[in-house]
Every structure is written in C-alpha cells, then in structure tokens.
C-alpha cells in the first residue's frame, strides 16, 4: 500500500510504501479502537500516545468487573425491554384499528347527513402511537 502524506501548507509531499503486514496491523488497530486508519497513522507519526495512568493489570480487572455488572444488568432488563416492545406493537395495532373505526364512524355520519367529527387531539394521539 502506498501512503502519501501531504502538508497542510506548501507543495511538498512524502510517499511511503507500506507492507501488507504493516497495513493489516494499522487496520486492526483502527478497528480495535474505533478510529480511522488515517488517525492511527497520524498518532504513530506524531507520537501522540497516551500513557496509562495506574497499573494496567489492575485496570483490566476493573474493566472485567464492570463488564460483568453490565451483563448482569442486561439480563435483568432484557425481559422488560421485550415486554415494552410488545406493548408498543400492541399500541400500534390498536391505533390502526381505532383509525379504521373513526373512518367508519365518519362514513356513517355522512350517510345520516350529520356533520363529521374532527378531533385533532385524538389524531395526534393516534399518530404518536403509530410511530
């Protein structure tokens, strides 16, 4: 892979040929840390590395403990989210049925030559549940 580094000002540029091994390592780092490969190269060239504060092994233990807590909370709240999703889908179905009944009611009112009812608040509520 060919890497071209252009300065922000001026005409000069630097061209460097990167081996496949180096490029694969750059892409692995960019995926691991969630940054672009250009940012990884920029950090490597400028030496803008962060020094860890504290013992790395101790920090990794803390991260593992926090991950375990997150998974415990996920286990606890997953059924609640599933029930909430089911209720929101039920609300959508009821809103659709209510819209049909309102349309049928208005049609019957027209048949009986009565003025149709316009209820904007009810329509807002239906559109809320249709989302």
Residue 10 region by backbone torsions, left for phi larger than 0, else alpha for psi between -120 and 50, else beta: left
In the prediction, which pLDDT does 44 show? 79
Cβ atoms of residues 13 and 7 within 8 Å: yes
In the prediction, which pLDDT does 23 show? 86
Higher pLDDT, 35 or 87: 87
Cβ atoms of residues 95 and 126 within 8 Å: yes
**DSSP classification of residue 117:** P
Q: Point out which residues pair with 2 in neighbouring strands.
A: 17
pTM here is 0.48
């Amino acid at each position: 892979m060919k890497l071209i580094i252009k300065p922000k000002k001026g005409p000069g540029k630097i061209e460097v040929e990167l081996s496949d091994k180096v490029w694969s390592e750059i892409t692995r780092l960019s995926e691991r840390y969630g940054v672009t490969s250009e940012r990884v190269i920029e950090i490597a060239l400028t030496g803008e590395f962060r020094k860890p504060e504290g013992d790395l092994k101790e920090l990794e233990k803390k991260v593992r403990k926090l991950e375990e807590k997150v998974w415990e909370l996920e286990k606890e709240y997953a059924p609640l989210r599933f029930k909430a999703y089911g209720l929101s889908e039920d609300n959508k179905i009821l809103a659709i049925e209510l819209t049909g009944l309102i349309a049928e009611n208005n049609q019957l009112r027209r048949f009986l030559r009565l003025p149709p009812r316009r209820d904007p608040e009810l329509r807002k509520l239906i559109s809320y549940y249709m989302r």
